[in-house]
Structure 1
Amino acid sequence: MKLQFVVGAIFILLVTACSNDTEQAISNVTTTIKDQADNIRDIDNPHVQSIKNGHLENYPTKSVGDAFNDFFGSPTWKHFKAETGEEVVEFTGHMKYQETNLKARLQFVVNENGTFEIGALSFNDVPQNELIKNGVLSAVFDSEHANSNESNTGANRVQNAPSRNESISNQDTKTTNSTQSSNDQQPNDLNGDYYYTDEDGNPLNELSFSINSKHITGTIIINTIDDKTAVIDFSGTLKNGKVKSTFEDDGWGESGTMQLKIDGNTAIATITANENENSTGWGINTGSYEFQKSEP
């Protein structure tokens, strides 16, 4: 009687396990079919084409589409609009990671200005952290892998993806679209003097700076009240069109931090003023100030 009970229990467990495996297999097949159908539907989608024709800043010689299609097996691309209103392009493809066959799913968020950011990555629908994502990108764009004869077989693998305790150096996932004109390029390496005026036409607001081998020094003048202006001097290393700096005195005793973002003909200064009990009220206020490139 006990033997019959044990055999029956084992049979139930086996049936349950087979059932779970079957359900998972059916789910995987269904998802793959849907991804392939979405890929066909969105093959000419402008957002998809924008990502596929774009380039990562650290890998300007090969487009995202070529690199991903070469590295991954069964690549698919689709577009959707997120609940947040963001335009998202989602890529799926098969690869090997630590000797395991995986289906990678990576999202690209399309910005209004034509650039895009790399979003979430998952393996078999399990979210991955930033270190793993950067490791995958490094492997995808490494020439040894991107030009491999194993392309589109799903056999390409991430061999150098960092562990959770390893750090990433010189890896930036900010991207630019290859269709941008040269006038929209960020002046990371453009030595020289630059002058910007207020976006809204206030003649008292102006921005000027000089770049020398990515080191930037400059001055921001902001109209605060009536005809009074605050002056902020800044300096730092320009990276991906951005520089952060602190200031100790704007001419009215105010101090704080400033981040300047330069995007072609537009520059935005985001200023955070420290609390000051002795403020005159004439100094700089916390806020963002937008400038347009002009001639001095």
Structure 2
Amino acid sequence: MSLGNHFRVFLCVVLMGVLVGYVFNAKKDVTDNVYIDTVKEGYLIDFADVKVRDAFNYAFTEPYWRYYKAKTGQHVVELSGDIVFLGQQGHAILQFIVSEDAKEFQLFASKFNDVVLNSQQKGTLVGMVYETWEMKQLAYQ
């Protein structure tokens, strides 16, 4: 093998190593931690009789919970999934801000089909989720 071929082989090995390192070190979503548990096991102010997990996991198709720390330093738990909202099937995303000590949280922002919901629309979406839960409970009685 000539020196040029040795160099090409060496370069290929280095590039493959970089690629493998990138794949194994790629940032993965955090889907299980204390901040997510705080939201799932908690209650929203107007719906203190049903855990967030129960209501949203029932109303959303394939709910996906993830955690990240925002650039502002806030702890954010995001819930996403498909849902029927105002008669339209679509994808919703809700973001909860969790306190540093993971004892309190509040619903911060929400989107439906990539449109940011205002306070009234956000309240309507949350109310609909809990109404769906209540109807399910009545159906089982």
TM (norm. structure 2) is 0.70
On the 8 A contact 2:36/2:66 being kept in 1, the answer is: yes
SS at structure 2 position matched to 1:55: coil
Match of 2:119 in 1: 130
Aligned-residue offset at 1:147: 4.8
- Partner residue of 2:12? none
CA RMSD in angstroms, aligned pairs only: 1.7
Q: Give 1:94 deviation, angstroms.
A: 0.9
Task: Report the secondary structure of 2:46's partner residue.
Answer: coil
1:51 matched to 2:39? The reply is yes
Q: Which amino acid aligns with 1:123?
A: F
Mapped to 1, the partners of 2:80 and 2:108 lie a distance apart of: 13
Q: Which protein, 1 or 2, shows the higher relative CO under an 8 Å CA cutoff with sep ≥ 6?
A: 2
Contact 2:95 2:109 in 1 (8 A): yes
1:146 to 128, 133, 136: 133
1:70/1:147 contact within 8 Å kept: no
Residues 118 and 45 of structure 1, relative CA distance in 2, 3 Å threshold:
same
Give yes or no for contact 1:82–1:88 (8 Å, CA) kept in 2: yes
| Residue of structure 2 equivalent to 1:275 | none
Q: How many residues align?
A: 108
Larger helix percent: 2
Aligned to 1:106: 94
Q: Find 1:71's aligned residue among 59, 65, 69.
A: 59
Moved over 3 A (4+): none
- The one-character-per-residue Cα deviations of 1:77-117 (angstroms, maximum 9, x if unpaired) are 00000110000000001111233211000000002351111
Contact 2:66 2:79 in 1 (8 A): yes
Q: Distance in 2 between matches of 1:131 and 1:57?
A: 16
Distance of 2:40 and 2:48 partners within structure 1: 13
What SS is found at the alignment partner of 1:59? coil
Closer, same or farther in 2 for the Cα pair 1:78/1:93, shift >3 Å? same
1:83–1:136 Cα change, 3 Å: same
Which of the pair has more CA radius of gyration?
1
Alignment of 1:22-37 (within 5 A): none
SS of residue paired to 2:54: helix
Q: Residues 85 and 125 of structure 2 are in contact (CA less than 8 Å); yes or no, is this contact kept in structure 1? A: no
Equivalent position amino acid for 1:120 in 2: A
Provide the secondary structure at the position in 2 that maps to 1:132.
helix
- CA distance in structure 1 between the aligned counterparts of 2:46 and 2:135, rounded to whole angstroms: 20
Corresponding residue for 1:81?
Answer: 69
Corresponding residue to 1:119 among 101, 104, 108: 108
Match of 1:96 among 70, 73, 84: 84
Aligned runs of 1:175-254 on 2, under 5 Å? none
User: What is the CA–CA distance in structure 1 between the aligned matches of 2:73 and 2:117, rounded to whole Å?
Assistant: 23
Q: Which runs of 5+ in 2 are unaligned?
A: 1-27, 137-141
Whole-angstrom distance in 2 between the partners of 1:122 and 1:96: 13
Q: Supply the distance in 2 between the matched residues of 1:73 and 1:115 (Cα, whole angstroms).
A: 26
- Paired position in structure 2 for 1:176: none
How much does 1:72 deviate?
Answer: 1.1
Give distance in 1, aligned partners of 2:37 and 2:48: 17
Label 1:87 to 1:65 Cα distance change in 2 as closer, same or farther (>3 A): same
